[in-house]
């Protein structure tokens, strides 16, 4: 066979068949000696030469990544295992589901080092054809961008292909919320329900479902009228109810309680003590604020399902339990509460995020700014 030999230190390209080439180049080993590396390239000779030049350049710049047969599937399994200590159990479950359901069936058998932007674009197109939401596609892209970025940092691949793909456009809808009149109508319909207090406290504080189920009495100071969000409680597949840290650093926060909130908590505690006296040793004092008749914390899926059922029975506009966070924010913003305070109460990662989500609830801010300028320079 014909071979194109290049000068010493520049490697070589050898024909191995029709549009198949073997490139060879030397790499340095840990003991200072040199090791010859071979790769097979399919396509025109120009492609083989281009890849060879890229390998030589990466060796010269110290960014060389040695050839590996590791597949995308194998790498992502390892990534999830190593990543488990750095994220919450719920976040890890979301990553695992996204990879198992959408990524592995289409990309799993591709060699990690052969993964290209076109493969990711094809994945997102397939997801779109299956009518998956833009939010799901965007989440898939974020997961892959994170995982492949870690692969670059581990020197498993030379570059992150996700950075060369146009991310799926996520269509953010303006959150809708009931009015306070509508919420009171809902509460009237839920007056005999075991989750009635849970629903009201969610609207009064704007807390997330997992923060409510994970709220413990020792994090509440009724005398000072405040609580500390320090733990969550969520159901994780295969593990049951799992206590964990809040969603983000901003989620760890202190929330000032209104007089109505304090009164509600005092009534909840009074009924719990009565129940404990009534059934004796059958009651488990778990320390959680919102519990069932035996003192055990709620599984967050239960109040969510009850909320939907009660809301449907009232004929009110369709909403879910999470929408009570939007109700809380809309009431505060309508009352003129500073957006930074609203952001802090909701536990958002930044004020900018709060502004982006709720800007439709803050009309007239530009007009107010213009009037302030005139007043200042009058």
* Per-residue pLDDT reduced to its tens digit, 196-228: 999 999 999 999 999 999 999 999 999 999 999
Predicted pLDDT of residue 236: 87
User: What pLDDT, on a 0 to 100 scale, did the predictor assign at position 246?
Assistant: 83
Whether the CB-CB separation of 11 and 25 falls below 8 Å is answered with yes
Percent of the chain with pLDDT over 90: 60
pLDDT over threshold 60, residue 142 = yes
- Provide the domain count of the chain: 3
Residue 256 has pLDDT above 90, yes or no: yes
Residue 334 structure tokens: 């309508």
Q: What is the pLDDT of residues 26-69, one digit of tens each?
A: 887 666 677 788 888 889 999 989 888 888 887 777 767 777 88
**In terms of domains, do 262 and 354 share one?**
yes
Residues spanned by the domain of 8: 3-61
The answer to whether position 108 is within a domain reads: yes
φ and ψ at 71, to 5 degrees? -85, 165
Contact 287, 260 (CB under 8 A): no
The kind and range of the H/E element at 236 are: strand 232-236
Q: What is the DSSP track for 101-161?
A: IIIHHHHTTSBGGG--HHHHHHHHHHHHHTT--HHHHHHHHHHHHHHHHHHHHTTSSSS-G
Let me know whether 106 and 154 are in one domain.
yes
| Cα distance between residue 327 and residue 286, in whole Å | 30
Query: Counting Cβ atoms within 10 Å, is residue 145 exposed (0-12), middle (13-18) or buried (19+)?
Result: middle
Band of pLDDT at residue 10, cut at 50, 70 and 90 = confident
The reported pLDDT for the residue numbered 165 is: 92
Q: Is residue 378 situated within a structural domain?
A: no
The answer on 238 and 145 residing in a single domain is no
| Percent of the chain's residues with pLDDT above 70 | 91
Give 310-347 pLDDT, tens digit per residue. Answer: 999 999 999 999 999 999 999 998 888 899 999 999 99
Residues 286 and 324 in one domain: yes
Residues 137 and 53 placed together within one structural domain of the fold: no
288: domain CATH number is 1.10.443.10
Please tell me the predicted confidence (pLDDT) of residue 4. 47
pLDDT in tens, 261-317: 999 999 999 999 999 999 999 999 999 999 999 999 999 999 999 999 999 999 999
**Alpha carbons 24 and 39: distance in angstroms, whole number:** 7
Residue 278 lies in a domain: yes
pLDDT, mean over the chain: 88
Who contacts 108 (Cβ-Cβ below 8 Å, separation ≥6)? 71, 72, 73, 76
- Tell me: do 335 and 231 sit in the same domain: yes
CATH code for position 110: 1.10.150.130
Closest Cα to residue 11, out of 49, 64, 67?
49
pLDDT band at 88 (very low <50, low <70, confident <90, very high): confident
CB 1 within 8 A of CB 14: yes
pLDDT score for 228: 96
């Amino acid at each position: 066979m014909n071979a194109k030999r290049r000068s010493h230190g520049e490697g070589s390209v050898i024909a191995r068949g029709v549009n198949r080439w073997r490139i060879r180049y030397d790499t340095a080993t840990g003991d200072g000696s040199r090791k010859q590396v071979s790769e097979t390239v399919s396509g025109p000779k120009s492609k083989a030469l281009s890849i060879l030049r890229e390998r030589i350049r990466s060796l010269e710049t110290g960014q060389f990544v040695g050839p590996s047969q590791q597949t995308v599937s194998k790498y992502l399994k390892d990534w999830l295992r190593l990543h488990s200590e750095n994220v919450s159990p719920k976040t890890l479950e979301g990553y695992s589901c996204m990879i198992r359901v959408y990524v592995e069936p289409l990309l799993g058998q591709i060699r990690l080092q052969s993964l290209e932007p076109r493969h990711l674009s094809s994945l997102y197109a397939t997801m779109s054809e299956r009518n998956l939401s833009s939010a799901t596609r965007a989440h898939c892209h974020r997961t892959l961008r994170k995982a492949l970025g870690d692969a670059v940092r581990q020197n498993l691949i030379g570059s992150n292909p996700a950075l060369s793909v146009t991310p799926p456009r996520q269509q953010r809808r303006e959150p809708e919320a009931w009015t306070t009149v509508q919420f009171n109508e809902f509460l009237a319909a839920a007056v005999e329900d075991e989750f009635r207090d849970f629903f009201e406290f969610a609207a009064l504080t704007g807390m997330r479902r997992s923060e409510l189920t994970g709220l413990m009495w020792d994090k509440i100071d009724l005398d000072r009228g405040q609580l500390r969000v320090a733990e969550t409680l969520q159901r994780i597949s295969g593990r049951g109810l799992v206590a964990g840290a809040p969603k983000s650093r901003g989620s760890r926060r202190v929330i000032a309680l209104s007089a109505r909130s304090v009164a509600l908590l005092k009534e909840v505690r009074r009924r719990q003590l009565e129940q404990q006296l009534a059934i004796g040793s059958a009651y488990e004092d778990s320390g959680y604020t919102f519990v069932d008749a035996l003192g055990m914390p709620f599984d967050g899926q239960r109040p969510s399902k009850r909320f939907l059922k009660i809301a449907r029975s009232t004929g009110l506009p369709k909403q879910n339990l999470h929408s009570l966070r939007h109700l809380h924010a809309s009431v505060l913003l309508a009352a003129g509460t500073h957006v930074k305070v609203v952001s802090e109460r909701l536990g958002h990662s930044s004020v900018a995020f709060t502004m982006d989500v709720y800007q439709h609830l803050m009309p007239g801010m530009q007009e107010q700014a213009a009037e302030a300028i005139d007043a200042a320079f009058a």
